[in-house]
C-alpha cells in the first residue's frame, strides 16, 4: 500500500472526541456519543470518491441539476464494536445496505475467529465501507477484506477510529489497493496485542459490558 492510501484524518473535533473516547472515566453513553461523532467526521473523508450521477431537481422556484449517489453502498460493521459506527453512516447514506460479519479475536492466540456471515452469494455492492473502531494486529480487517473480495466487491474502504502501526503495516502488506481512514495511529501494541495508549475494549465500553474472563 502506498503511504497516500493510509489517511490519518486530522480535525480539531476529531481530537476533542478522541480524547473523550480514551478517558477511562468516560461513561458508556458518552463513549457511544463520541464514537458516533468520530464516525461521522471520518466518513466525510472516507466517502469522498463515491460516484455520483446528475439528476433533475424541482425546487420551490424552478428546476435545476443536482447530483445523487450512483452506487450501491454497503456498510460492513465487524460485530460487535463496529455497530457503534453504523448509525452515523446510515444518517449520511440512508440507502446504504448493512451486512454484518462476526469476527472475534481469540485472546490466547490473538488470531481472528470468523463466526457469523450472512453475505449473499451474488449481487455484491459497488462499494463497501468496513466499520471497525480499532485496528490492532490487522488480522480481523484483512479477513473481512478477503471475504468482501470473494463476494466480488470492487471498491473497499476501511474506516477506523484508532489504529496501531502493526495493524497498518499488516493491511499495507495484505491489501495494498484498499484505502484506510483512521482518526489516529497510536504508539504500538503491547505484549497482549492491545493498542497503547489506546482506549480499552471498544465493544465493552460502548455497550456497557464487563469481561468475566479477566
Q: Which domains does the chain have, with CATH numbers?
A: 3-206 (3.40.50.2020)
- Band the pLDDT of 4: cuts 50, 70, 90: very low
> Is the peptide bond prior to 80 cis by the omega test (within 30 degrees of 0)?
yes
Q: At what angle do helices 165-174 and 139-151 cross, to 10 degrees?
A: 30
Residues belonging to the chain: 214
Q: What is the mean pLDDT of residues 44-49?
A: 95
> Is the peptide bond prior to 13 cis by the omega test (within 30 degrees of 0)?
no
Closest CA to 14 of 141, 185, 153, 167: 185
| pLDDT score for 195 | 94
Local structure of 179: helix, strand or coil: strand
Active site residues: 105, 109, 201, 204
Q: Do residues 26 and 204 make contact, with C-beta atoms less than 8 angstroms apart?
A: no
CA 130 and chain centroid, separation = 5
**This prediction's pTM:** 0.91
pLDDT tens, position by position, 99-153: 998 887 776 776 778 888 888 888 999 999 999 999 999 999 999 999 999 999 9
Sign of CA pseudo-dihedral 120, 113, 200, 10: negative
- Band the pLDDT of 84: cuts 50, 70, 90: very high
Name the DSSP class of 85: G
Using CA atoms, how far residue 144 sits from 4, 37, 81, 129, in Å, is 22, 24, 14, 11
Q: What is the mean pLDDT of residues 43-70?
A: 96
Q: Is the pLDDT of residue 2 over 60?
A: no
Among 47-51, 104-108, 201-205, whose mean pLDDT is lowest?
104-108
- Residue 146 CA to residue 205 CA, distance in Å, equals 28
Q: Do residues 105 and 167 make contact, with C-beta atoms less than 8 angstroms apart?
A: no
Amino acid at each position: 500500500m502506498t503511504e497516500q492510501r493510509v489517511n490519518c484524518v486530522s480535525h480539531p473535533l476529531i481530537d476533542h472526541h478522541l480524547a473523550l473516547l480514551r478517558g477511562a472515566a468516560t461513561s458508556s453513553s458518552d463513549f457511544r456519543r463520541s464514537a458516533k461523532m468520530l464516525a461521522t467526521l471520518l466518513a466525510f473523508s472516507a466517502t469522498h470518491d463515491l460516484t455520483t450521477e446528475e439528476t433533475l431537481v424541482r425546487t420551490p422556484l424552478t428546476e435545476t441539476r443536482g447530483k445523487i449517489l450512483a452506487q450501491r453502498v454497503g456498510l460492513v460493521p465487524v460485530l460487535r464494536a463496529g455497530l457503534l459506527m453504523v448509525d452515523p453512516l446510515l444518517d449520511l447514506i440512508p440507502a446504504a445496505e448493512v451486512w454484518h460479519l462476526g469476527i472475534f479475536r481469540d485472546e490466547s492466540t490473538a488470531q481472528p475467529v470468523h463466526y457469523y456471515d450472512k453475505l449473499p452469494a451474488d449481487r455484491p455492492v459497488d462499494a463497501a465501507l468496513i466499520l471497525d473502531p480499532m485496528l490492532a494486529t490487522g488480522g480481523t480487517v484483512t479477513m473481512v477484506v478477503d471475504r468482501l473480495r470473494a463476494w466480488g466487491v470492487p471498491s473497499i474502504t476501511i474506516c477506523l477510529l484508532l489504529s496501531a502501526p502493526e495493524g497498518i503495516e499488516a493491511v499495507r502488506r495484505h491489501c495494498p489497493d484498499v484505502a484506510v481512514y483512521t482518526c489516529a495511529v497510536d504508539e504500538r501494541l503491547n505484549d497482549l496485542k492491545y493498542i497503547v495508549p489506546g482506549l480499552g475494549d471498544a465493544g465493552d465500553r460502548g455497550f456497557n459490558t464487563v469481561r468475566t474472563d479477566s
